[in-house]
Amino acid sequence: MRRRFGQSLRVGVAPGAVALLKTSRWGGAAPELVGELAFEGGSHPEAIGVALRQLLLDAGCASWPVSIVLADELVRIWQVAPPAGSARLADLEAAAALRFQTLFGEPTGAWKLSAGWDPAQPFLAAALPRHLLALIEQVCAAQRAPIVELVPQFVAGFNQWRGALKAGAWYGLVQQRVLTLGMIDGGAIRAVRAAALPEGADLDWLAAHVAREALRLNLAAPARVAVSGHAPAAWSKGATHAPLACHLLGQGQGQGSGWSDCARLAATGSRP
> How many Å apart are CA 114 and CA 157, to the nearest integer?
16
Half-sphere exposure of 198 (CA within 13 A, CB side): 9
Tell me which DSSP letter residue 119 carries.
Answer: S
Q: Domain 156-267, CATH 2.30.60.10 — does that match?
A: no
Q: What digits encode the pLDDT tens for the residues 150-165?
A: 999 999 999 999 998 9
136-145, 204-213, 235-244: range with lowest mean pLDDT: 235-244
The model's pLDDT over 209-224, given as tens digits with 9 standing for 90+, comes to 999 999 999 999 999 9
The pLDDT, as a whole number, for residue 272 is 57
Does residue 169 contact residue 185 with C-beta atoms inside 8 Å?
A: no
Q: Are 126 and 80 in contact (CB under 8 A)?
A: no
Give the three-class secondary structure for 41. Answer: coil
pLDDT tens-digit profile of 94-117? 999 999 999 999 999 999 999 999
pLDDT top residue among 7 and 192: 192
Higher-scoring residue by pLDDT: 74, 254: 74
Amino acid residing at 48: I
Are 183 and 122 contacting, i.e. CB atoms less than 8 angstroms apart? no
The alpha-helical segments, DSSP class H, found in the chain are 45-59, 89-104, 130-142, 153-161, 203-217, 261-267
7-71+131-152 CATH = 3.30.420.40
